[in-house]
Chain A
């Protein structure tokens, strides 16, 4: 009996040393272990909340967290990468997603055909050995074009082809066609997936066309007659396709009819204009700048005068309009020669 009592006393002492992990609640907590969530629907002690708010909240939180963790400790554990983890069940609270569920993409024309015929994709290696160049040529990607050029340093002219034909250009043309065909088919697949109807030939109709699109459409419609729009009625200011084309106007000069003197003078004129260039003096701008500067100085003075308290009046020669901030007219200054006449042109030009 004594031994039993001793053991019980020892156990009691041991448990006294540590604080309890039990929590008593009137209503059980609703736990969602998957989300580490606990809902406590017990009444709050409003008196305590008012008087010792932080302390009460701390204790309440401690109790609720204790209950939550007690349940978490009961979960089955697992070892993942040398760490012991508890496996959580799926969360019960249904929360909304941020994006809608992914819709399965419809198969492309080729994918449908491949599925029907049972064609499976064969994985091809990138590099292909070429005996002539003695190198690994990649089938796609980095350095393909360069090495391909090395490999195809010469192209055979096939037996039935024109010997003057450029085989390299032909090859490049074929590749361009392939790429554009692929692009067309890709866009067609996208249109099919998005259920956008695209006409087999021609351009699709646009809901809100811009003004230039409408203009182009009108011009093209004009020219789409048997006589290529020659006899179509035209509005007074309407511009047809031909007029709008930006092409340099080739002025045909008859060089045999110009006299040597005329030619000489015209050449000299060109040289004068190039070599005799002087900086243009914009008088209006210069005067306006000066006026602005003077105005600023005056306003600064006024500010300092105000702080000083004294009154000083200064006579200025600025016209009243400019003082009020209006634009001044060009003052009467003598004609400034911006261009030098026949006499005296800049540096070392030989006269013949």
Chain B
């Protein structure tokens, strides 16, 4: 087991494993989500949080108590709660007269806020209002419609956040029959419409399947309100990939005309003077010999 650089050692092996799991990794796991409520909750927001939690289970935590937090004024309490629950995405829901049904989605980097976006939910349709269903932990296909996603700088960043939130696990292969969920985000001038559908693959005359969609839910109509984005520097730092994750082209391997693979091995320089060898006591220099050697060196 790799070591932890901690003054107080964990007393149990299980505790040590849990702590090691929280260390930074080369290839990261799914981002954990935290759902929390502010000073006042509303039914729409509660249903929304519950549905999004169901979509993200088991990599999500719902906190049931109300918190006296205002993220846009002081984000530190949210950061603390996220750190305690080992979450890096948060969904903060409050409602008040000025901002009814406001849902703030944010992400953290290294325990500190990276960026967050506040949405005001105008219309909400939950899972229960539709009959279709999908198995849990299905990786969704994401579709962004509307030229605003590319044209507007702000919306491009919002798109990055939404992809991060709904992406789920990063995979290298997918079973094509298992693509059952698609989420579409449409950006109009006034609002962002999120629609979620179940994919049904029907037979067609070609080998490609005919795609039919059925309403699955949740369907959310939201308006983009306040935003707080990260500086260029911080975003750059956060997007940095470690050397181990980058795929390097294989060097020193070549194929000749006949098809045989050739490889080159480069040997380093041997420290002939300081290699650890068997000590032959008889060959050791005596004190007199050493003195002579020193004198000759000085003379030179």
Contact = CB atoms under 8 A, between A and B. Distances in A.
Interface of A: 14-15, 17-21, 35-44, 46, 49, 53-54, 57-58, 60-62, 64-66, 68-70, 72-73, 78, 80, 83-88, 90-91, 93-102, 105, 117-118, 187, 190, 193-194
A65 B182 contact: yes
B144 to A, nearest CB: 5
Contact of B88 (A66, A88, A98, A193): A98
A-B complex: 10 closest residue pairs judged by Cβ atoms = A96-B238, A98-B88, A101-B242, A99-B24, A15-B205, A85-B173, A61-B184, A102-B24, A66-B211, A36-B141
Contact of B160 (A17, A69, A93): A93
A49 B188 contact: yes
Interface in B159-178: 159-160, 163-164, 167, 170-176
Given A73-B176, A97-B28, A102-B242, A57 B205 contact: no
Given A60-B184, A62-B213, A102 B23 contact: yes
B206 interface: yes
B272 interface: no
B240 A101 contact: yes
Nearest to A56: B186
Contacts of B1: none
26 contacts: A18-B202, A18-B203, A18-B205, A19-B202, A21-B204, A21-B208, A36-B142, A41-B150, A60-B184, A60-B186, A62-B211, A62-B213, A66-B210, A69-B176, A69-B179, A69-B199, A72-B176, A87-B173, A95-B160, A97-B238, A97-B241, A98-B88, A99-B88, A102-B26, A187-B7, A190-B6
Contact of A37 (B28, B163, B209): B163
B175 A84 contact: yes
A235 B202 CA distance: 94
Contact of A57 (B25, B184, B206): B184
A20 B204 CA distance: 7
B145 interface: yes
A83 B213 contact: no
A35 B206 contact: no
Contacts of A117: 276
Contact of B5 (A35, A46, A102, A190): A190
A65 B25 contact: no
Contacts of B78: none
A40 B179 contact: no
B242 A87 contact: no
B212 A80 contact: no
B204 A69 contact: no
A240 B238 CA distance: 55
